[in-house]
A and B are shown apart, each in its own frame.
Chain A
Amino acid sequence: MAHPVQTHGEPGLRLAGLRGVAADFSSDQRAFKTASWGKAMMWIFLLSDTFVFGCFLIAYMTARMSTPVPWPNPSEVFALHIGGQDVPLILIAIMTFVLISSSGTMAMAVNFGYRRERRMTAVLMLLTALLGATFVGMQAFEWTKLITEGVRPWENPWGAAQFGSTFFMITGFHGTHVTIGVIFLLIIARKVWRGDFDVERRGFFTSRKGRYEAVEIMGLYWHFVDLVWVFIFAFFYLW
């Protein structure tokens, strides 16, 4: 039954399972057969980014576990005073829903991109960018509120000083990723709107033919930003 992996031209019947993994990695061409180089490179970049965020979260864990000073209660720190009472974590909850919605619109943009519905794709990407910008705006509001209350990278009014440094470091780095993502979204959305991927217009930097796969690669980055927030939400705001 098992056919050998073909080395050129048409992809023949490829092995599945672990044998397929071994065959893909030991082949004389690229290892990630069904993923183009662009997609594979974005994945490898995201893997490296995973390690960076992983290191930040581990540093935060180490700081929090090793301090004898009480850690501020995030549930109270991030509460908002609405209608005469404090609602715990409400701002973070809204930010989470905004970011998840942006992931939803992005996934649909990728889908419409492969259907070659250019305007719908561009509109969904612009909506994603708008939700991303909303998220950054809310984060700016959150930072402003905490800075007004006296939180600094070296101190805060509620306890362990490390709270300030880890908070600004982790949410700041994530916010930077969202901001870069919004810019990236606007660039690709413009290309989609102009029809660059329909006429295979060559890229400014790369001189390579533009394809609708760029939307999916953009989507990988955007979903990753949402993915990181899932971990920050659990470890920073709920712990």
Chain B
Amino acid sequence: MSETTAHAQGPTVQAQEHGQQHPIRLYLLVWGLLFVLSAFSYMVDYLGIQGYLRWTLILLFMMLKAGLIVAVFMHMAWERLALVYAILLPPLLVLVFVALMVSEADYTIFTRLAFFGAAP
């Protein structure tokens, strides 16, 4: 948005005090959307959807909910880009850790099945 010009008008303290004022309507809208998305992800389980469709839907609703909370409730959408990158980029690197552990788990179950058989 035009945050650059908005913040250029007053001293920093004032910008902080009034920087995160947004209409109540926006919060109510996000609140409602979070309810609807939660109901959707609950329906995925209730209707017994399985396989890749289940995964796609669960992750989609999860990311949409997380995005709404961070962007609007936590005001990330209106912060300086320096803060946004400092906070949002590092967790993405956790995905590397996830990939490592998926590979590790695959190896563990392979050795378990190879040496102990299917029964524990």
Interface residues of A (CB under 8 A from B): 10-14, 16-18, 20-21, 24-25, 31-36, 40, 43, 46-47, 50-51, 54, 58, 61-62, 65-69, 75, 88-89, 93, 96-97, 100-101, 103-104, 106-108, 110-111, 114-115, 211-213, 216, 219-220, 223-224, 226-227, 230-231, 233-234, 237-239
Contacts and interface: CB of A to CB of B under 8 A. Distances in A.
A115 B17 CA distance: 10
Given A34-B79, A58-B98, A224-B74, A100 B38 contact: yes
Contacts of A14: 4, 7-8, 80
Contacts of A33: 12, 80, 82
22 contacts: A11-B7, A13-B5, A13-B8, A16-B81, A31-B83, A34-B80, A35-B83, A61-B98, A61-B102, A62-B105, A66-B112, A100-B31, A100-B34, A104-B30, A108-B27, A114-B21, A115-B21, A213-B16, A213-B17, A219-B73, A223-B69, A234-B62
A100 B118 CA distance: 42
Given A35-B79, A97-B35, A107-B31, A68 B17 contact: no
B77 interface: no
Nearest to B41: A238
A48 to B, nearest CB: 10
A183 to B, nearest CB: 21
Interface of B: 3-5, 7-8, 11-12, 15-22, 24, 27-28, 30-31, 34-35, 38, 41-42, 44-46, 54, 58-59, 61-62, 65-66, 69-70, 72-75, 79-83, 85-87, 90-91, 94, 97-98, 101-102, 104-106, 108-109, 112-113, 116, 118-120
A164 to B, nearest CB: 15
Given A61-B98, A107-B73, A234-B59, A21 B85 contact: yes
A13 B4 contact: yes
A11 B31 CA distance: 34
Contacts of B104: 62, 66
A238 B113 contact: no
Given A10-B11, A226-B69, A17 B17 contact: no
A118 B88 CA distance: 33
A230 B82 contact: no
A115 B20 CA distance: 11
B20 to A, nearest CB: 6
A61 B101 contact: yes
Nearest to A19: B81
A18 B12 CA distance: 22
Given A47-B87, A97-B35, A239-B58, A104 B27 contact: yes
Contact of B62 (A18, A62, A231): A231
B8 A32 contact: no
A75 B4 contact: no
A21 B38 contact: no
By CB atoms of chain B within 10 A, which of A11, A18, A216 has the most? A11
Contacts of A21: 81-82, 85
A103 B106 contact: no
Contacts of A50: 90-91, 94
